[in-house]
A = this chain, B = another copy of it.
Amino acid sequence: PRYQRGDDSRVTLGYRAINSGMTLAVSMEHRLTGAEDYDQQTEIDGDYAKHVFRTHAQAGQTVSLTKLVSYHSSSQVPARELADRCHRTLDRARDEGIERQFREQSEWLESFWDRSDVEVGADDATQQAIRFNLFHLAQAAARAERNGIPAKGVTAAGYDGHYFWDTEIYVVPFFVYTSPHIARNALRFRYTMLPAARQRAAELAQRGALFPWRTINGEEASAYYAAGTAQYHIDADIAYAVSKYVKATGDEEFLAREGIDILVETARMWADLGFWRGDGPDKSFRIHGVTGPDEYTTVVNDNVYTNVMARYNLRAAVRGVENLERRWPEEHARMVARLGLEEHELEEWSSAADHMAVLWDETLGIHPQDALFDQRELWDLENTPAEKRPLLLHFHPLVIYRFQVLKQADVVMALFLQGNEFSDEEKRADFEYYDPITTGDSTLSAVVQSIIAAEVGYHELAYDYFLAGLFVDLANLHHNTSDGMHIASTGGVWAALVNGFAGMREYDGVVQFDPRLPVVWEHMTFKITVRHTRLRVTLRHDSIEFQVEEGGGVSLEVRGERVTVSGESPVTVPLDGQGPRIAGAPDPHAFHGTVRDDGTVMTASIPSMIDDEEIPT
């Protein structure tokens, strides 16, 4: 606590966080109308302020209390100065009148729903739950101009308000296609963390920048590197979001001034972290000692997710620099000077990308999560009692890491984000292998599994996973909603709808659809904004319809066919079904007993579960 001031008309508190030095002030005032007689009392203490009104109201009498609250925060400005800003905000709100506040918020929200609503032909509960999730995205990001979108939004103190890669992969894509200005703010926020990421890279003996696993001020706030800093993929996730944003919006100014620095510095990190193996046609670029999204297997070699995302990152940097040179030569020159970029670096990045190792296991016919993944035994999830879940709360990491068991989608996440790099057969084989050994102990998992289940045809499972994401907080499915909303999952719910059921992807700048409408829904209508054109998309079992709501039109693809949408008339594309339809779920025993490459047999087991009573004393 740094500041406490106030009287009967207004009270203000100011704080500074001990470690980060970040500051916060909050001010409130009240107006009581309709009470003829009342007394009031104000109490202010270090971390405490209270304003009590007392009146004797009569039945039928209307007493109104108008409460105005203003918050200001900063990474540096003293709390006292923030307190002044709070006062000015309250002054303005009082002057303008409360009705104006209501009206502005209402307009803001109407505009949000116009751009973002997803309507489904289903029961009210499902529809309400969808909007509950979208609303939380709006709330978490509404004032993210300079402050980013934390993992719990503004709902509770879980994760100490920290930012994770969830933002870029689960939340930013929603805004890219519905509220690009919010996506830009979120990405600019990451840009402001670039100096700290450069410092962190140097600490890890890497060139370029290394973004932290969790942070409040740009510095890595996790001391547990195995599931934290070792997630080098975060660099690629951020580069991915930058690239998605620029392609969907055409905002090359952002690319030229800020985005390019992120792309270049992350590409540099990959080029330095990886190394070359072999010569001639066999040579490959390897990345060792990293952790993928799945935190139940850490510090491994050639994690497939990491490698394919790093490849995307390297190529995005090359494309970005080349594009800049061609179209914004002055900005290009400034960037080259600013970052000391050398010509040979682009060649290195291209070469590393072209030769990136993407492991393939011939025996299992899948992409192994990492170089040693198939050497592990399978964890017998079916026979793991419910009271031993989630695994991370009941087993030491050293135990979990020895098994083929996933906290969350990893290869399956790569199948989604880098879908054009995998064949349909590979996607199905990978999904059928990983789905049964994925615990879903992270809420980041269900929504991604829903998307790929839908794509490969497990439509019932896709819908189940969608519901698991949809109700994760409404039904408190992970028993920790009191720590705050899982904002990444709310973004994932939108992705499960639009990328999963509507089958939307973007590769090479072209937005495309290959729908998988759930059997139990009649239709689904949603909005997307692509290069300043807002479309209303209506998906039915036999067609998909595009209608321009704003802007000049856009060219899309539906199942490989080019579709141009412009003007006032909707464009309807007939659909021959909703892709493959496979009942049930992959068989959890399918790989038990498989003979591995080295001649050994895969078995499933559970580590010893020892009760205290069993231990001799």
Contact = CB atoms under 8 A, between A and B. Distances in A.
A315 interface: no
A395 interface: yes
A288 B300 CA distance: 13
A272 B605 CA distance: 12
Given A206-B607, A301-B372, 8 more contacts: A198-B615, A205-B395, A207-B608, A278-B600, A288-B402, A289-B398, A339-B616, A371-B372
Given A288-B402, A289-B398, A396-B205, A616 B340 contact: yes
A610 B395 contact: no
Given A225-B398, A338-B616, A205 B377 contact: no
A610 B207 contact: yes
Contacts of A371: 372, 375
Contacts of A122: none
A402 B289 contact: yes
A399 B205 contact: yes
A609 interface: yes
A225 B402 CA distance: 14
A205 B608 contact: yes
Contact of A615 (B199, B399, B598): B199
Nearest to A298: B299
A397 interface: yes
Instruction: Provide the main secondary structure of the chain A interface.
Output: loop
Q: How large is the interface on A (under 10, 10 to 19, 20 to 34, 35 or more residues)?
A: 35 or more
A554 B513 CA distance: 86
Interface of A: 195, 198-199, 201-207, 225-226, 229-230, 272, 275, 277-279, 282, 288-289, 299, 301, 338-340, 371-372, 375-377, 395-399, 401-402, 598-601, 605, 607-612, 614-617
Identical chains bound together, number = 2
Given A288-B375, A610-B207, A398 B301 contact: no
Contacts of A601: 278-279
A218 to B, nearest CB: 13
Contacts of A279: 600-601
Contacts of A607: 205-206
Contacts of A198: 615-617
A600 B277 contact: yes
Given A272-B608, A278-B600, A288-B376, A202 B396 contact: no
Nearest to A230: B398
A176 to B, nearest CB: 28
A204 B398 CA distance: 8
13 contacts: A198-B617, A226-B226, A229-B398, A275-B377, A275-B605, A277-B598, A278-B598, A278-B601, A279-B601, A299-B299, A301-B375, A371-B372, A371-B375
